[in-house]
Structure 1
Amino acid sequence: MAQFNYIARDKTGKKKSGTIKVNTRKEVSTKLRERGLRLLTLEEVPETALNKEIYIGNPVKLKDFVIYLRQFSTLLKAGVTIVDSTRILSQQTESKPLRKALSAVLEDLNQGTPLSECAAKHKRIFPPMFINLVRAGEASGALDEALERLGEHFEKQHETKKKIQSAMAYPIVVAIIAFVVVIYLLTNVVPTFAAMFADFGGELPALTQFVLSVSDWMQEKWWMLIIIGIALGGLFAFLKKSKLTKYHFDYVILKIPIFGSLMRKAMLARMTRTLSSLFASSVPILQAISIVEKVVENEVAARVLRDSRSSLERGVSLTEPMKKHWIFPPLVTQMIAIGEQTGSLDAMLAKVADFYEMEVGTATDQIKSLIEPLMIVFLAAIVGTIVLSIMVPMFEIFNQVGN
């Protein structure tokens, strides 16, 4: 939302000033009239670090974007104009960033600007695929079909993302619980027994000495854990985003046992689904591949796609660079080759996408069934080690007292 400073006059003629947050300038007069005020002057407040809305990651949730696409398509099919549809959706959507963008798009639409150009001004909200498919829909006169295809595409992507998140959620939650339990034992339970062991004297087992030393370190330098956590988080973000390291980071991710295979299948599902949607909407093949290079979110695959685009520009098959790389299995390259030969590339890619989306679902179920017992054993081993380090000298103390 934009912020405005206003000066207005009430019914008694008295001047009033204040600040108001709205989506557009036109809304200011409406809001003030509802308060019984008549606008005199209006000044927009520039965005600063203090009043700027900050979003981490994608501003619009994928779920909200899918709902927007479905509703937009339905409204257009019902005969509602693009302008009226955008006005309705800007008022109904629950996503603040999307509402703000749609309000700005509505102003541009009222000035006669095509929807694709309006959306291109808000690239953080509307991805390149949306802009290109809308442009293709405008050119063919089938914008409602293009939006419906977009809705199906992002809905599939949302489902795949949720499956991966569900597979990753369990080990992450268990790891956090294990970390909290270990911290509690080392900072609250172990120190109590440490004082007892000191009173009785004697040499402690090596395991107990190690646990006690870790406990002492935790009590004195616990703040270093925070620094280490922040440093690791920063390093992770740098490796993931930096152009120098992103390729190697993505390569390692795809090679991680168990989870690497899952990420690879998800990447292939996203890539083939996006290409299928773009080809079905008559987006030129070179432009479609350029879009997918960004959508695939994996530099290893993106490099191969760039090679494929260069291959096409030289008049060679799209699949030639893919066949030489381990990231693309024969199923993908063979289906693409058949699609090129038969002229049904969009249909073949859709079939590949369906296959890998189903594979992601199966793989997530297998990972959850495999990870659950492993994480339980992991948690039991850590806690058991700490408990054992306390119990062993306790038994020795009891034996000494008994004798």
Structure 2
Amino acid sequence: MAMYRYRGRNRNGVLVNGKLKSESEKDARIKLKEKGVNVMELKALDSWLYKDVSLFQRVTTKDLVIFLRQFSTLLHAGLSLVDSIEILAKQTSNKLLKEGLSTVSEDIRTGASFSEATEKQRHVFPPLFTNMIKAGEAGGNIEEILDRLAVYYEKQHATKQKVISAISYPAVVGVVAFGVVVFLLAFVVPTFADMFSSFGSELPWITAFVLTLGETMQQFWWLLMLLVLGMGVGIAVMAKDKRYKYYLDYALLKMPIFGGLLQKAAIARMSRTLSSLFSSSVPVLQATSIVERVVGNEVLAKVIRDSRNSLEKGESMAEPMEKHWIFPPLVTQMVVVGEKTGSLDSMLGKVADFYEVEVDQATERLKTAIEPLLIVGLAVVVGVIVAAIAIPMFEIFDTIG
């Protein structure tokens, strides 16, 4: 929604002015006409004070899937492109998507193609979407492309959710365990320090170690929190800067336990995206350029960039892939076969199917294996702290007895 300042005359010819919130200039004129205002001047107010706050708002994969499925259904039912877009703009609950569709509808009515209109709304429609729509317009199969896009985003969403599910459980348990240990060391253990010091005898090494750790934690717990917060901010900054994101992605891919899962998910995403673009007749150089931007992993993106450079020289796409550790032999062999037989879209689709199943199985194995490990790890840490306090207590009871 945007705010507009208007000036005009009402039905009685009296000069009126004011402000009006509307989705577009066209919609604002319609509203004013319904109020009986003959518009003489209408101007959008660009100040941030008049704009809807959309800092944390975005179009999710789920929003896109719902939109694409409904859009395809309306077109198959015989509705025109513009009418379908306007209906969906009214139905969607996502404000960003609603505004984007309204603007796209206006652009199409003024003579722009669907792909040209969506390309102007890059904050709403990803490059992959726009380029596949462009290919659909050229081939006259928009409905088929929309169905293909919906399947693509559904698979991407499913794979992403599986990875998030596999990582979030140990992350949450780890954070809770860290909080429990910090609390015990900073606030519980120091309460026993005076009692043990009055005991007079030498304390067991484990008790002395835990007490020292507890005193340090009690004095510098705030520094630990600052370090954790600083690490979080640092990772967030690195993730936004391509110069550092490469090293962050490299470290994540080499990480024990989770690295293999992230590698499989990245390969599945790349293969599915390339397969969808190739099967929609998007030129190979343009397709690799799009995948480089949307794959979400800078290590993988660098190899794709090298593959595109290899294609520009008239060489094989698979050659840079064969030289890099991130691609298993299965992927490179399928790409080689696809290049030789002219069925690269089909081969990449098979690779994507294989690795999507691999991600599914890996997440299940990870959940099964990591739960007991986390429980045992937490039990050992808490057990050491309890034992460090209990052992001197038993000695005190024996002395008293």
TM-score after normalising by structure 1: 0.89
Instruction: Assess if the C-alpha contact under 8 Å between 2:252 and 2:259 holds in 1.
Output: yes
After TM superposition, the structure 1 stretch with the greater mean CA deviation from structure 2, 111-120 or 20-29, is: 20-29
How far off its partner does 1:135 sit?
0.6
How far off its partner does 1:190 sit?
2.6
Tell me, in whole angstroms, the C-alpha distance in 2 between the residues paired with 1:256 and 1:294: 24
Which residue of structure 2 aligns with residue 391 of structure 1? Answer: 390
Does residue 231 of structure 1 match 2:230?
yes
Q: 1:93 to 1:398 in 2, by over 3 A?
A: same
Tell me, in whole angstroms, the C-alpha distance in 1 between the residues paired with 2:229 and 2:104: 39
Q: How many residues align?
A: 400
Which residue of structure 1 aligns with residue 331 of structure 2? Answer: 332
* 1:138-171 deviations in Å (ceiling 9; x for gaps): 1111111111111111111001001101111210
Q: Which amino acid aligns with 1:390?
A: I
Does residue 361 of structure 1 match 2:360?
yes
SS in 1 for 2:242: coil
Instruction: Assess if the C-alpha contact under 8 Å between 2:10 and 2:38 holds in 1.
Output: no
Which residue of structure 1 aligns with residue 45 of structure 2? Answer: 45
After TM superposition, the structure 1 stretch with the greater mean CA deviation from structure 2, 213-222 or 120-129, is: 213-222
* 1:364-401 deviations in Å (ceiling 9; x for gaps): 11111111111111111221122122212221222222
Q: Which amino acid aligns with 1:48?
A: W
- When the two chains are superposed, the root-mean-square deviation of aligned CA atoms in Å is 2.9
Tell me, in whole angstroms, the C-alpha distance in 2 between the residues paired with 1:367 and 1:171: 10
TM-score after normalising by structure 2: 0.90
Tell me, in whole angstroms, the C-alpha distance in 1 between the residues paired with 2:396 and 2:74: 79
Which residue of structure 2 aligns with residue 316 of structure 1? Answer: 315
Which residue of structure 1 aligns with residue 137 of structure 2? Answer: 138
* 1:256-304 deviations in Å (ceiling 9; x for gaps): 1221111111111111111111111111111111111112222222222
Identity, in percent, stands at 52
Does residue 25 of structure 1 match 2:15?
no
Instruction: Assess if the C-alpha contact under 8 Å between 1:8 and 1:37 holds in 2.
Output: no
* 1:93-126 deviations in Å (ceiling 9; x for gaps): 1222211211221221221211111111121221
Q: 1:192 to 1:12 in 2, by over 3 A?
A: farther
Q: 1:74 to 1:210 in 2, by over 3 A?
A: same
Q: 1:84 to 1:375 in 2, by over 3 A?
A: same
Q: 1:352 to 1:8 in 2, by over 3 A?
A: same
Aligned ranges for residues 167-316 of structure 1 at < 5 Å?
A: 167-316=166-315
Instruction: Assess if the C-alpha contact under 8 Å between 1:87 and 1:106 holds in 2.
Output: yes
* 1:59-93 deviations in Å (ceiling 9; x for gaps): 21111111111111111111111111111111111
Instruction: Assess if the C-alpha contact under 8 Å between 1:32 and 1:38 holds in 2.
Output: yes
Which residue of structure 2 aligns with residue 3 of structure 1? Answer: 3
Does residue 380 of structure 1 match 2:379?
yes
Q: 1:238 to 1:49 in 2, by over 3 A?
A: farther
Tell me, in whole angstroms, the C-alpha distance in 2 between the residues paired with 1:223 and 1:3: 46
Which consecutive residues of structure 2, in runs of 5 or more, have no partner in the other structure? Answer: none
Does residue 94 of structure 1 match 2:93?
yes
Q: 1:202 to 1:129 in 2, by over 3 A?
A: same
* 1:239-258 deviations in Å (ceiling 9; x for gaps): 33333322222222211122
Which consecutive residues of structure 1, in runs of 5 or more, have no partner in the other structure? Answer: none
